[in-house]
Amino acid sequence: MASFLKTLFLSASIALIGAAAHADSNAPIRLIIGVPPGGALDNLARSLAEDLRTTLKEPVLVESRPGASTRISIEAVKTARPDGRTILIGATPPFVLFPMTYARLNYDVDKDFIPVAHLANVPCVISAGADQPFKTIPEYVAWIKKNPANASVGLTNLGGGLHFSVLQLSKAVGVPLTPVTYKGGAPLATDIIGNHVPMGTDALASQLELHRAGKLRILGVAGTKRLSWLPDVPTIKESGYDAFDRANAAYAAFVPAGTPKDVVAKLETALLAAMRNSQVRGQVDRMGLEPTGLPGAELKRIMAEDRVYWRPIVQASGFKSED
């Protein structure tokens, strides 16, 4: 009787395990983002989800987990089951700069995650009100040297590439530029247009249409090449300053450490195919993003280079994140 009950118990346990595994395999794939719905990252994730539903023939959902400078979303993916069904779609600065600026993080960027794919670059720009007395970066530098009391620069967060680029520009021009933070691109753009802040820097996506409408003027673009949307606007480097050469962030895909190699490879193939899809690329372009579609190994290499570039700059600044 005892042996019969033992066998019955084991059979029931195996059945339950099998049922759980089957239920998990039928669970939708979740693309986790760390921002509220409606922005460029959310739109990118939804474009990817639409494509992946077709190529993977599985349900794919976009789940927003905003808060704590996207760390809530990152930690949610870190603790998810490493089965390829929970994917972080997020920006690269939390993997590059946060380890340098936070005294303690609840994740290790190298041990807790596997880079799957580099999806898109996030072009950034420097802009000013349309009726400011300067129309170029050199004119701004000449103006700010005569008006150092007006050396505030608007941006949407501290501790990111744009913040440290502003500090680098400050050193280059010899004027102590003061970063002023805003709760998002919309209020920043409003203050730039209203001349409440002489100059601001943000993602192209939040300022392109305002520039086209003549409400503000984009003075220069970050990075080392001009943008297809703004072929007549020089890079900040062309204007004589290399402080913004690596200011652009990127959007990328990550899965929890421990995800099987074949699962990672399948997701990488699907995501790269999605970024080659003309419909997805068109949607990404309309968001003011540059589609890339690079494999996980290339994403890992780029982030490693970014860390080498930023580490001495961050250390010299003495800045520490506190939120």
Counting Cβ atoms within 10 Å, is residue 244 exposed (0-12), middle (13-18) or buried (19+)? buried
* Buried-state track 178-212, b at ≥16 Cβ within 10 A, e below 16: ebeebeebeebbebbbeeebbbbbbbbbbbbebbe
Residues in the chain with pLDDT values less than 50: 1-23
Residue 75: per-residue pLDDT: 96
- Strand boundaries in the chain, DSSP class E: 29-33, 60-64, 86-91, 113-122, 124-129, 152-155, 178-181, 199-203, 216-221, 249-256, 290-295
CATH class of the domain at 124-221: alpha beta
Amino acid code (one letter) for 190: T
Task: List, by residue range, all CATH 3.40.190.10 domains of the chain.
Answer: 124-221
CATH class of the domain at 27-121+249-317: alpha beta
Per DSSP, the three-state class of 248 is: coil
Residue 98: phi and psi, rounded to 5, are -60, -40
Which one, of 155, 220, 224, lies nearest residue 185 by Cα?
A: 155
* Buried-state track 290-312, b at ≥16 Cβ within 10 A, e below 16: bbbbbbbeebbebbeebbeebee
d(CA 61, CA 258): 22
Confirm if 176 and 170 have CB atoms less than 8 A apart: yes
Per DSSP, the three-state class of 281 is: helix
The C-alpha torsion from 247 through 251 and 252 to 253, rounded to 10°, is 150
Which one, of 134, 130, 172, lies nearest residue 150 by Cα?
A: 134
Task: List, by residue range, all CATH 3.40.190.150 domains of the chain.
Answer: 27-121+249-317
Confirm if 156 and 185 have CB atoms less than 8 A apart: yes
d(CA 242, CA 260): 41
Which one, of 192, 209, 222, lies nearest residue 288 by Cα?
A: 209
d(CA 9, CA 14): 9
d(CA 27, CA 238): 50
Residue 38: per-residue pLDDT: 85
d(CA 33, CA 179): 27
Residue 19: per-residue pLDDT: 38
